[in-house]
Amino acid sequence: MNNKLTLGIFGFGVVGQGLHDIIKTKNLNLAIKRFVIKHPEKKRTLPAELFTTDANAVLDDPEINTIVELIDDADAAFDIVSRALQSGKNVVSANKKMIATHLAELIALQHEHGTSLLYEGAVCGSIPIIRNLEEYYDNELLHAVTGIFNGSSNYILSKIFNENLPYATALRQAQDLGFAETDPTLDVGGFDPKFKLAIVASHAYGLYVSPEAILNIGIDKLSASDIQFAREKNFKIKLIPTAREINDTSVVLYVMPKLVSPENILYNVENEYNGVLVKAAFADEQFFYGKGAGGHPTGSAVLSDIAALRYGYRYEYKKHIDANGIAYSTDWELEVYLRYEDENLIERLGFTSISERYYAENYKYIIGKIKLDNILKNRAVIDQKGLFIAEIA
């Protein structure tokens, strides 16, 4: 049955405006009653009566049966979403940090109150990866889910490797286009793809893993020497989140730059596009490709969730029911490239083997194998010293 939805939308930024642009072109059985905004002084493209700064005016309105949450503040978003679910309203959200941090609580609220929270727009923009993990792969054994989950960092890296732009110039272009925020730390520091990876791991493996427990190394320490090394070896650098089954009971999760060769399908995923690679026991290998940044791509994913709510759709979280003792692990060995300065750090990191070393006056690197757990333990030192580390595909 196609139920009519009356929407209360929190946020009218890039995604909120993109969503409205799409909705107004469609003849859907839904209506937007009110937007909740933070800055009433800003000029808007819609009539003033559609906007309010009072969250209660939307959350307590009995005519509004669906809340769409599109704000940046994860703590405020959790309060909004929790109240909405408890009051019997269904919710669509694109807040990956909020969902990744509070997923267990949000699932419990849905079960307790018979409501539905959908969040396709929180992960990989226009790519419907959550719905596919829920529906297509619900009975599949997944060996790995990996790829490019952040359009902002991928845009920057594409400009560096394809147009020889300096990092700072590429970042500024991404900011000018609205792909990266004024403070780009969430994107270039690898936090954004880490939140998305935590959500993906929940649907792929039935795991609740706190984002704080997952390693994220970004591209913010990338130097001209690292770029030159990659070019000389015929690599490109991509920021890659990885969820990988390492045995029947364990899954590893991490976000790191990766040196990818032309044979890797992710090598040609460029600009603001995302690519998700799923390796399954029976379906084998499948690849999803689409825009991962921008108001309209993310808005289209949000609208897909809204449309699904008209028919009573909800996530079933089947992998949580059938998790069978699968646990998160950091006991995994990686082959990495590390640019470093302090020789003592090499011993501290505990490389299990070394295949290549290079020394110059202003540039040293090492290639070898190292435990994921050792990188996690020394993460603060790596950050403090401005080192760059990347997995070799």
Residues carrying an active site annotation:
196
Which helix (H) or strand (E) is 326 found in, with range? none
Q: Tokens for 179, please give them.
A: 């792909």
At 233 the three-state DSSP class reads coil
Question: What CA–CA distances, in Å, run from 117 to 72, 85, 263, 273, 355?
Answer: 18, 8, 39, 26, 48
Q: State the Cα–Cα distance between residues 258 and 86, nearest whole angstrom.
A: 42
Q: Side by side, which strands form the sheet with 90-93?
A: 51-52, 30-36, 5-10, 66-69, 90-93, 117-118
Q: State the Cα–Cα distance between residues 173 and 274, nearest whole angstrom.
A: 18
- Residue 85's nearest CA partner among 96, 74, 93, 97 is 93
Q: State the Cα–Cα distance between residues 125 and 135, nearest whole angstrom.
A: 18
Residue 274's contacts (CB-CB under 8 Å, 6 or more residues apart) are 124, 125, 127, 147, 148, 149, 150, 151, 154, 289, 290, 291, 292
Report the chain's terminal Cα–Cα distance, integer Å: 48
Phi, psi values for residue 67, rounded to 5°: -105, 135
